Amino acid sequence: MRIDLHTHSWVSDGSDAPAEVVRLAATAGLDVVALTDHDTVESWPEAIEAAQLHGITLVTGAEISTRSQGGHSIHLLGYLFDPAEPTLAAELEQIRTDRVPRLQRMLDGVRAMGSQVTWDDVVSRAGPAVAVGRPHLADALVAAGEAASREDAFNRWIGVGGPAYVPKRAPSTIDAIRLVRGAGGVPVIAHPWSRGRTDSMSPDDIAALVEVGLAGLEVDHVDHDEVSRSQLRAIAADLGIVTTGSSDYHGTGKSAAYALGACTTSDAVYAAIVAQATGGSPVTKGR
């Protein structure tokens, strides 16, 4: 089977409707796709309907913003959790709420450096998104002709450490893992060493997360080179956790390198994730 466990719709910072992500996944020949918008489950109902229509299996999920003990931004994929579990739902809502003033501060930062972009521009670029973020500000900068692309806006102003960058308030990675497990879900660290940031998470850090319930690491990801992948695979094997692969598809929000199915997860790992989940099951046609 071809299994892609990490994609985004316009409910967060992708460019396609949830149903369109699912339709495109089926068209791309995937058997299983997980829709994992940032900090929200808002895309689930539409995606579930589309999966049934297009005959592809959908894994419901989210990519949760968290912060490590060392202060690094860590993304946690949660799969097949119960969206009605109140503690996790409340935390996701808090993260989304806190994203707004944080993005306004970043807008203030770029305006102080001469940008003419307004909050209304950002809101209009964000469109249907319920989790607003840096990509929407980047899109507004592109629309105003002040940046060439999202990547350009991140490189110049709002990437980590950039002159207008403001970190997000987020739960600790440990707390988020506990919340996902508490809602019957399966937590996997997304792109642990993305963009060459191997310092953001050490083997000991990962071991500590396994102690509280971490199920796996997303290893096959466009942002990881071959050396990182083999090191991460060895760490996961050592700790007895699974390794996944996925595209992190964002539609036109990321380059073609992140196309649906760009990286995939094995049947055995997929089965292990489904077996651990008590908060939900994959959605297939006729169910």
List residues binding ligand AMP (CB under 6 A): 13, 38, 65, 133-135, 150-151, 154, 159, 168, 250
**In terms of CB distance, is 57 or 200 closer to Fe ion?**
200
**Dihedral sign, Cα of residue 257, residue 46, residue 272, residue 176:** positive
Contact between 263 and Fe ion by CB under 5 A: the answer reads no
**In terms of CB distance, is 95 or 277 closer to ligand AMP?**
95
Both tokens assigned to 164: 């207008």
Binding partner of residue 190 among Zn ion, Fe ion, ligand AMP, none, CB cut-off 5 to 8 Å per kind? Fe ion
**In terms of CB distance, is 57 or 65 closer to Fe ion?**
65
Residue 267 CB, nearest approach to Zn ion (Å): 27
Q: Which of residues 52-111 bind Fe ion (CB under 5 A)?
A: 63, 75
- Ramachandran bin of 247, using left for φ above 0, alpha for ψ from -120 to 50, beta for the remaining angles: alpha
- Residue 165 to residues 98, 110, 155, 159: CA-CA distances in angstroms? 15, 9, 11, 6
**In terms of CB distance, is 138 or 232 closer to Zn ion?**
138
Q: Which stretch binds Fe ion (CB under 5 A): 21-29, 78-86, 110-118, 188-196?
A: 188-196
Residue 27 CB, nearest approach to ligand AMP (Å): 23
Both tokens assigned to 136: 């929407």
Give the C-alpha separation, 104 to 106, whole Å: 5
Contact between 13 and Zn ion by CB under 5 A: the answer reads yes
In the sheet with 73-79, reading across from the earlier edge strand, the strands are: 3-4, 32-38, 57-67, 73-79, 186-189, 216-220, 242-245
Half-sphere exposure of 179 (CA within 13 A, CB side): 25
SS3 194: helix
Q: Are 89 and 64 in contact (CB under 8 A)?
A: no
Residue 16 CB, nearest approach to ligand AMP (Å): 14
Binding partner of residue 150 among ligand AMP, Zn ion, Fe ion, none, CB cut-off 5 to 8 Å per kind? ligand AMP
Binding partner of residue 162 among Zn ion, Fe ion, ligand AMP, none, CB cut-off 5 to 8 Å per kind? none
**In terms of CB distance, is 23 or 197 closer to Fe ion?**
197
Both tokens assigned to 187: 């937590």
Contact between 150 and Fe ion by CB under 5 A: the answer reads no
Report the interface residues with Zn ion, using CB under 5 A. Answer: 13
